[in-house]
Structure 1
Amino acid sequence: MEEKHVTCQGAICQCTYGSTTDKLKVYTQTKHYINDKNKDYKLVATHKELGTTFENNSFGSCSLRNRNPCTVSVTGWNGFYEKVTLEENGGKALLEDSTADCPTGGKGCIKIIFHGQQAELSKTNFHKVDSSICDAMNPTGDMEATQEMEEEIYDAE
């Protein structure tokens, strides 16, 4: 089975019939984060994110509405991860290939084009890296000096 990313708040979505993208907002739960060491903003998105659940609630102009403005209203999600249920909202996690339904565009017209996860480096990452591998991959950098500089920065905090 192919591995898929779990989708989180900030995921970029696009409608097949829209002219622009919009970012997903999570309103249904407040406890479960992913790739967010400070638990500030990367809430796990679930199939319970219905209605107006985007930053602008618009995908620009809609080709099905004679180029009039789109007004997003998610009526359901497809292709979410069935094996885990979040306790707070009873939701199933959305995956990077999940799609959403809209009353105007129909089933699966809204697609996730970027899942929203982004790795955050920490002090531990710099200490675990093998400097000889980094030097081979990036001959212009000095990994040992970078590690020392990062240690000074983190110690100052």
Structure 2
Amino acid sequence: MAEKHYVVQGATCQCKFSVAPETDILQVKTQTKHYANDEGEEKLIASHKDIGQTMKKNTFGKCKKQPSGSDYLPCQTKITKWSGFYDKITLSNKGNPLLEDSKATCPMGAPDCIIIKDHGQTADLSKKNTESSSPEVLYEILPGVNFSELEDNVLMINNK
């Protein structure tokens, strides 16, 4: 799994058969216990069990696989399976976490026609980051601040 991110709720997906490469947002509907990249509030880890209508809009716009005269019919996203998930971990829903290079299959498209454009995790500085960082590292991030003169509570960060 070297250097790959877990896919979380809010990840952006795209189908290669979308006429005007539209994206949709992945919703995790199969589990409520496993989070990544936050304090266990929003970013549920997606798994290969997240199939069916698991996108926010459930459409990628018009589908090239559904021609209709001089136009195309609207996409109705329904994921039938995922590939490229991390099979060395099993979540409580018996699902394996999706990785940023996992792909999904739709019955209208071909296998692996839906890709993950953005895994959904963000790099946020949190209280835990500052507590575990050495003064030298903090100085590199925030030059000009003399951390030896500051009280410990100055480094408390509220990310809300």
TM-score (norm: length of structure 2): 0.80
Q: Which amino acid aligns with 2:55?
A: F
Q: In the alignment, is residue 83 of structure 1 matched against residue 84 of structure 2?
A: no
Post-superposition shift, 1:26?
A: 0.4
> Which residue of the partner structure matches residue 31 of structure 1?
33
Distance in 1 (CA, whole Å) between partners of 2:46 and 2:99 is 9
Post-superposition shift, 1:120?
A: 2.8
Asked whether the equivalents of residues 134 and 143 of structure 1 are also in contact (C-alpha less than 8 Å), the reply is no
Post-superposition shift, 1:3?
A: 2.6
Asked whether the equivalents of residues 123 and 151 of structure 1 are also in contact (C-alpha less than 8 Å), the reply is no
Q: How does 1:121-136 map to 2 (within 5 A)?
A: 121-129=125-133
Unaligned stretches of 5+ residues in structure 2? none
1:143 to 1:61, Cα distance in 2 relative to 1, 3 A: farther
Distance in 2 (CA, whole Å) between partners of 1:118 and 1:135 is 22
Asked whether the equivalents of residues 58 and 70 of structure 1 are also in contact (C-alpha less than 8 Å), the reply is yes
SS at match of 2:82: strand
TM-score (norm: length of structure 1): 0.81
Q: How does 1:32-111 map to 2 (within 5 A)?
A: 32-37=34-39, 39-66=40-67, 67-87=72-92, 89-111=93-115
Q: Which amino acid aligns with 2:3?
A: E
Post-superposition shift, 1:151?
A: 2.0
Asked whether the equivalents of residues 104 and 112 of structure 2 are also in contact (C-alpha less than 8 Å), the reply is yes
> Which residue of the partner structure matches residue 7 of structure 2?
7
Q: Which amino acid aligns with 1:107?
A: P
Higher helix share: 1
| CA offset digits 1:32-64 (Å, max 9, x no partner) | 001111x11100100001110000001111122
Aligned CA RMSD, in angstroms, stands at 2.7
1:143 to 1:81, Cα distance in 2 relative to 1, 3 A: farther
Unaligned stretches of 5+ residues in structure 1? none
Q: Which amino acid aligns with 2:83?
A: N
1:107 to 1:131, Cα distance in 2 relative to 1, 3 A: same
Distance in 1 (CA, whole Å) between partners of 2:140 and 2:87 is 42
Distance in 2 (CA, whole Å) between partners of 1:152 and 1:75 is 46
1:143 to 1:44, Cα distance in 2 relative to 1, 3 A: farther
Equivalenced residues, count: 151
